[in-house]
């Protein structure tokens, strides 16, 4: 397993093509806007060597029998699924941001079970290729960007019927050595901090879309891959030199648009190529795993937000007010509800044909649908408790100013024995979690990550088994007899 320092050093050896604000970034590792997100990933390596968290952060490989970082593991039992959620909550607590390895982790498990079934049914050899790849990932302890979401263009049209055929990533050429792909993947969490990219189709494909039914893995610095770094609210505060106004002093997340400009993929890195009937299975399983993830990571960040709101109430002198206590209790209740769903869908997991365990898909979708709602209420209550100063107070530069700093110090004081700077720092942390850069990974990602709310409603409807429920009612109403 890699240490945090070894992970950071390994990124320095990559030759990524990254653009931000219209300029090429020559050194992504040390860029002040990117570095906090890298620190979040590094935490997944650091905690794997902490004896207190070893049970959650590590696992025994089913492929090699060696001790590995859990983020590279193929789930072998329901307890693995439960530990995944607990690990994600822990990391959310430690970083208060997106730690970015979950997408690749979820992709590993979805691709493994799907390729196994493809081989069983079609006589292909994708699963052995994929497991050889997984041994490499585990041995090198790699961070892998799971890339599913395409730009999609006109949502009313199939991939093959778009005005621009590249709006879904596709195979444009096949040779004896491999394939050539063109297109893009959008909203790619942690892409610039990853060693590899594992690509999957984004929707269930039909026969006419077979060129878009493709899954493969490549080094993140492969020729023809371009990263265009995504903007976040308040992101340029990282360039100002201080740390109060950024809120979270150490950690962050990021997304990127990843362009594939006629990129070559060797056959030993191809895990689906035209088997369109299995694209829907892969999408459904990946989405299920990733919706489970939100019952862990968002809960951990929620723990920090609840703590920040409680601390701000103390700094404001309002902690003993009954309505503050009630709001904090409601925040805890909502947060634990999310966690309960994450644990439930994990505990009900079952083995797939490959031996890799899959969560209960119904409960995973219920988990994520709750995540599209409850973090917004938790954030609203945090903003309510914090007060308006969270978004109106002067900057750190004003606090440090030799002439006007004393006014900021004097008039932004809350409780007398609490330094003004401490109060400002706590309010900025709440701002960061609810409105700033961290809000991308907490509020907005809660809505759209792993599929927007309608995607979960569709899956819940599909899996509801309404005929069975109606039969139960007919039996108890005396309309028919129980069989």
Active centre residues (catalytic): 98, 102, 189, 255, 290, 294, 297, 445
Pairing mode of beta strands 196-199, 144-147 = parallel
Pairing mode of beta strands 178-185, 225-229 = unpaired
Instruction: Please tell me the distance from the alpha carbon of residue 111 to that of residue 130, in angstroms, as a whole number.
Output: 8
- 403 Cβ neighbours under 8 A, 6+ residues apart: none
Helix (H) / strand (E) element for 59: namely strand 58-60
Distances (CA, A) of 260 to 150, 201, 274: 11, 14, 18
Name the β-bridge partners of 272: 215
> What are the respective helix, strand and coil percentages of the chain, to the nearest 5?
55, 15, 30
**DSSP label at 73?**
P
| 423, 413 Cβ separation under 8 angstroms | yes
Instruction: Please tell me the distance from the alpha carbon of residue 329 to that of residue 104, in angstroms, as a whole number.
Output: 34
- Indicate the SS3 state at residue 198: strand
Instruction: Please tell me the distance from the alpha carbon of residue 417 to that of residue 162, in angstroms, as a whole number.
Output: 63
Distances (CA, A) of 277 to 156, 173, 270, 308: 20, 21, 17, 48
Helix (H) / strand (E) element for 297: namely helix 279-316
For residue 285, give the nearest of 475, 81, 59, 60 by alpha carbon. Answer: 81
| 279, 205 Cβ separation under 8 angstroms | yes
Instruction: Please tell me the distance from the alpha carbon of residue 368 to that of residue 287, in angstroms, as a whole number.
Output: 10
Angle at 26 between CA 197 and CA 24, to 5 degrees: 85
Other residues' Cβ atoms within 10 Å of the Cβ of residue 312: 24
Helix (H) / strand (E) element for 455: namely helix 453-463
Other residues' Cβ atoms within 10 Å of the Cβ of residue 384: 12
Please report the DSSP string for 84-142 in residue order. Answer: HHHHHHHHHHHHSS--S-HHHHHHHHHHHHHHHHHHHHH---HHHHHHHHHHHHHHHT-
| 214, 199 Cβ separation under 8 angstroms | yes
């Amino acid at each position: 397993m890699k240490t945090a320092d070894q992970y950071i050093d390994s990124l320095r050896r990559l030759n990524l093509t990254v653009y931000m604000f219209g300029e090429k970034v020559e050194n992504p590792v040390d860029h002040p806007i990117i570095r906090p997100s890298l620190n979040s990933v590094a935490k997944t390596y650091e905690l794997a060597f902490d004896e207190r968290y070893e049970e959650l952060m590590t696992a025994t490989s089913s492929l090699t029998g060696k001790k590995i970082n859990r983020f590279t593991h193929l789930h072998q039992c329901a307890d693995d699924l439960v530990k995944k959620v607990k690990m994600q909550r822990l990391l959310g607590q430690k970083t208060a941001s997106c730690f970015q390895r979950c997408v690749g982790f979820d992709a590993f498990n979805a691709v493994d079970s799907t390729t196994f079934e493809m081989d069983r049914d079609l006589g292909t050899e994708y699963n052995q290729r994929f497991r050889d790849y997984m041994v490499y990932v585990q041995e090198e302890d790699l961070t892998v960007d799971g890339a599913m979401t395409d730009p999609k263009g006109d949502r009313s049209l199939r991939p093959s019927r778009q005005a621009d055929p590249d709006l879904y990533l596709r195979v444009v050429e096949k040779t004896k050595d491999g394939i050539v792909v063109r297109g893009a993947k959008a909203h790619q969490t942690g892409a610039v901090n990853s060693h590899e990219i594992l690509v999957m189709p984004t929707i269930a494909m039909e026969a006419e879309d077979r060129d878009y039914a493709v899954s493969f893995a490549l080094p993140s610095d492969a020729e023809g891959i371009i990263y265009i770094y995504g903007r976040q609210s308040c992101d340029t505060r990282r360039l100002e030199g201080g740390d109060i106004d950024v809120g979270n002093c150490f950690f962050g997340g990021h997304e990127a648009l990843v362009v594939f400009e006629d990129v070559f993929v060797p056959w030993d890195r191809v895990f689906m190529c035209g088997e369109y009937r299995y694209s829907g299975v892969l999408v459904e399983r990946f989405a299920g795993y990733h919706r489970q993830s939100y019952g862990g990571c968002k809960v951990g960040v929620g723990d920090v937000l609840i703590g920040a709101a409680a601390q701000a109430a103390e700094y404001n002198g309002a902690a003993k007010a009954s309505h503050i206590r009630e709001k904090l209790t409601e925040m805890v209740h909502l947060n634990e509800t999310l966690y309960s769903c994450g644990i439930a869908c994990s505990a009900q997991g079952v083995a797939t044909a490959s031996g890799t365990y899959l969560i209960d898909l119904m409960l995973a979708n219920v988990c994520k649908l709750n995540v599209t709602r409850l973090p917004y209420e938790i954030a609203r209550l945090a903003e309510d408790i914090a007060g308006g100063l969270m978004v109106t107070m002067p900057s750190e530069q004003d606090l440090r100013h030799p002439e006007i700093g004393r006014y900021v110090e004097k008039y932004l004081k809350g409780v007398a024995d609490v330094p003004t700077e401490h109060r400002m720092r706590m309010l900025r942390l709440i701002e960061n979690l609810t409105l700033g850069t961290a809000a991308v990974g907490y509020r907005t990602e809660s809505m759209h990550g792993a599929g927007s709310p309608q995607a979960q409603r569709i899956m819940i409807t599909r899996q509801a088994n309404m005929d069975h429920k109606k039969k139960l009612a007919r039996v108890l109403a005396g309309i028919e007899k129980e069989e």
